[in-house]
Amino acid sequence: MQQIIIIGSGPAGFTAAIYAARAELSPVLFASQVEPGGELMNTTEVENFPGFPEGIQGPELMMQMQQQAERFGTQVVYDDVASVELQGDIKRVTASDGTVHEASTVIFATGSAYRKLGLPEEDRFSGHGLSWCATCDGFFFKEKTIAVVGGGDSAMEEATFLTRFASKVYVIHRRDSLRASKIMQQRAFDNEKIEFIWDSEVAAIHGESEVTGITLRSTADGTERDLALEGLFVAIGNDPRVHLVHGQLELTSEGTIAVEGRSSRTSLPGVFAAGDVVDPTYRQAITAAASGTTAALDAEHYLAARPTTVSADTEVTAPAAV
Ligand SMILES: Cc1cc2nc3c(=O)[nH]c(=O)nc-3n(C[C@H](O)[C@H](O)[C@H](O)COP(=O)(O)OP(=O)(O)OC[C@H]3O[C@@H](n4cnc5c(N)ncnc54)[C@H](O)[C@@H]3O)c2cc1C
């Protein structure tokens, strides 16, 4: 039986693994077969992770996190977790190959998925003019003409934020009115760099190695036209990856795993959660990494506080958590 199983191989999972491994808890980390390394594998330059003054490529950063976790004894399993049983002292984690792993604690670091447009060329342009994160990538679009897709609060926030860098920001929305709150709408309407394109969706993205334009399709009459652009931001929502814990852990109204205060403690003892799967607001690599630290320390304290049976009639209680 393991002491800690970590599910997820993004910054939250690997940081939790570094701390747990250095505490000699020999963590097992499920890295996923399909998407090991998390969201940063889909981007190019990361310029806001401290410690890399010249920036670092997303996949390179994740490889270094993994190496650091493995250096202290983390066992990385390249498989997806198919199901979990979280009640009771012994947690059961079933991998997609059917193997059942048991552990005293489980850390969920499964992240969240930005909703995509559903276009075949989306993966190819990710990090090459196509982005899901204005905070992360806005800086790369100084004096450029770009567009934001979406009609909710986050689309308005991203569009307004992006006017700090871009010379022109189109907002493309499927309908003729916005879902965003009145105040966010007004802020966008008042911004002279923002122009709205109503009743339209993106039908195709063009470019060789970088985005150079899109085809817009009218949702009213189906007509199409091309628009030259140097960047496209998609802000149509984000889904925390919580399918494994439905019916077992409490969720928030935003769909993230509910945790107690600033801790990573979920609604079940011995089960912890970290990173974007608990965070509807910040969703950055550094905040995910920090919350991975919290989860590893919470799990460590939980393990240390549990009674340990030494023999049939002797019970030793480990020192209480700090
Ligand atoms: C295109 C893009 C660019 C970005 N650029 C930046 C940037 O420049 N700077 C920055 O700070 N942030 C950036 N971000 C945001 C950052 O990537 C995320 O905030 C961060 O990766 C979240 O880390 P996480 O560990 O919580 O989750 P993730 O990185 O999403 O990792 C979760 C992992 O868990 C895995 N997983 C899920 N379910 C299972 C399962 N059942 N079994 C096994 N594994 C599972 C997933 O496959 C994934 O590998 C960017 C995001 C995107 C999409």
92 and 68 co-located in one domain: yes
148 and 110 co-located in one domain: no
33 and 78 co-located in one domain: yes
6 and 88 co-located in one domain: yes
**Domain range spanning residue 312?**
2-114+238-317
86 and 141 co-located in one domain: no
The residue contributing the CA closest to ligand 1 atom 15 is: 284
Average pLDDT over residues 270-291: 96
Last residue of a domain, one of 202, 234, 266: 234
131 and 228 co-located in one domain: yes
DSSP, collapsed to helix, strand or coil, labels residue 139 as helix
**What is residue 308's predicted lDDT score, i.e. its pLDDT?**
65
Q: Model pTM?
A: 0.88
Question: Is the pLDDT score of 320 beyond 70?
Answer: no
| 292 domain residue, yes or no | yes
Question: Is the pLDDT score of 225 beyond 70?
Answer: yes
Output the domain CATH number for residue 159.
3.50.50.60
**What is residue 316's predicted lDDT score, i.e. its pLDDT?**
38
- What distance in angstroms lies between residue 112's CA and the mean position of ligand 1's atoms? 7
The residue contributing the CA closest to ligand 1 atom 26 is: 275
104 and 8 co-located in one domain: yes
Last residue of a domain, one of 234, 264, 285: 234
**What is residue 223's predicted lDDT score, i.e. its pLDDT?**
98
- % of the chain beyond a pLDDT of 70: 95
Contacts of 136-142 with CB under 8 Å at 24 or more apart are 136/43, 136/46, 136/48, 136/284, 137/43, 137/231, 137/233, 138/162, 138/164, 138/165, 138/166, 139/47, 139/165, 140/45, 140/231, 141/165, 141/166, 141/230, 141/231, 142/166
Contact at 8 Å (CB) between 192 and 168?
no
242 and 227 co-located in one domain: no
Question: Is the pLDDT score of 119 beyond 50?
Answer: yes
Nearest CA to 137 among 254, 226, 237, 42?
A: 42
| 322 domain residue, yes or no | no
Structural domains of the chain, count: 2
Last residue of a domain, one of 208, 234, 260: 234
**Nearest atom (ligand 1) to Cα of 285:** 11
Instruction: Give the C-alpha separation, 234 to 247, whole Å.
Output: 31
**Mean pLDDT estimate for the chain:** 93
- % of the chain beyond a pLDDT of 90: 89
Average pLDDT over residues 37-58: 93
266 and 278 co-located in one domain: yes
**What is residue 168's predicted lDDT score, i.e. its pLDDT?**
98
246 and 148 co-located in one domain: no
Instruction: Give the C-alpha separation, 228 to 146, whole Å.
Output: 9
**What is residue 42's predicted lDDT score, i.e. its pLDDT?**
81
Q: Please, which pLDDT band fits residue 313 given cuts at 50, 70 and 90?
A: very low
**What is residue 322's predicted lDDT score, i.e. its pLDDT?**
40
Q: Is the CB of 114 under 6 A from ligand 1?
A: yes
| 262 domain residue, yes or no | yes
